[in-house]
Amino acid sequence: MNNKHELIYEGKAKKIFTHDDADKVKIEFKDDATAFNALKKEKFEGKGKLNCLISARIFEILIEKNIPTHFIQLENENTMIAKKIKVIPLEIVLRNTAYGSLCKQTTIKPGTSLSKPLIDIYLKNDELNDPLITKDRIKLMNILSSDDLELIINLTLKVNEILKSFFKNIQLQLVDFKLEYGYDLKNNILLGDEISPDNCRLWDLNQKNGTIVSLDKDRFRNDLGGLIEAYSEIHRRINNFLMPK
């Protein structure tokens, strides 16, 4: 990254730098993988590039469907240029199939198909371990207005419909995913962060006998191995599908 661009923020998987245009930022994707609130860490060469390229393609699909996002364009394979946003400290998780923490916290069995998408909202706070939060607590903490929360929930449901259908076309089941939003300089709500196998659970639909094959960060979380191979396969399928026939 050019020295004249200052580092604004460094997270677990990305670095955010200033841009020549004050309304924009540069987002550089790192090769680090973290799980369990960064208690587990490892570097995988090429992971940052894959997540950046996958996210860019998915943002393009969402923008075509009129979802407002922070994505502007790729600068290179590892870096995207995005609109500068003030991040809302909430993680919006949408679940189509029961898995992970939902099954640990309820009596629902893993792999259960949910009759309608479930939205869980978490407070984005590492010190508190990103706890599940209620609408009333969001209001109590004055994080955002009820109208803006409603807007975010409706956008998340729309994103789910678009992505579920897109992934099904490339033989992937969208189990669940996490989104983050923020306000741009004009106070519009935009979809931010990234959309990649780091924050989506994607199962391979090419499997027989109902075997679950994860092509996402669960390969790292659950010591399954083959993380880069899984991310590369998703990138390959997306590109093959989007390439002009």
List pLDDT tens digits, range 42-91.
Answer: 999 999 999 999 999 999 999 999 999 999 999 999 999 999 999 999 99
Last residue of a domain, one of 83, 103, 119: 83
Is the same domain home to 95 and 112? yes
Q: What is the pLDDT of residue 235?
A: 98
CB distance 90 to 138 below 8 Å: yes
Asked if the structure places residue 48 within a domain, the reply is yes
Asked if the structure places residue 73 within a domain, the reply is yes
Residues 6+ apart with CB under 8 A from 138: 90, 121, 144, 149
Mean pLDDT across 5-12: 93
Is the same domain home to 77 and 129? no
List, for residues 97-131, the tens digit of each pLDDT value. 999 999 999 999 999 999 999 999 999 998 999 99
Judged against a pLDDT cut of 60, whether residue 1 lies above it is answered with: no
Last residue of a domain, one of 58, 83, 108: 83
Is the same domain home to 69 and 91? no
Is the same domain home to 114 and 162? yes
In our burial notation (b when 16+ CB lie closer than 10 A, e otherwise), range 207-243 reads eeeeeeebbbbbbbbeeeeebbebbbbbbebbeeeee
Domain count, the chain: 2
**Domain enclosing residue 15, as ranges:** 7-83
Judged against a pLDDT cut of 80, whether residue 192 lies above it is answered with: yes
pTM for the full model?
0.95
Asked if the structure places residue 150 within a domain, the reply is yes
Cα 66 from Cα 155, distance rounded (Å): 10
Judged against a pLDDT cut of 70, whether residue 245 lies above it is answered with: no
Is the same domain home to 111 and 189? yes
Q: Cα 189–191–195 angle (5° rounding)? A: 175
Asked if the structure places residue 63 within a domain, the reply is yes
Is the same domain home to 34 and 109? no
Is the same domain home to 48 and 126? no
List, for residues 126-181, the tens digit of each pLDDT value. 899 999 999 999 999 999 999 999 999 999 999 999 999 999 999 999 999 999 99
Using alpha carbons only, how large is the chain's radius of gyration in Å? Answer: 18
Mean pLDDT across 168-195: 97
Residue 22: band (very low, low, confident or very high) from pLDDT cuts 50, 70, 90: very high
Is the same domain home to 67 and 104? no
Residue 15: band (very low, low, confident or very high) from pLDDT cuts 50, 70, 90: very high
Last residue of a domain, one of 41, 62, 83: 83
Is the same domain home to 159 and 208? yes
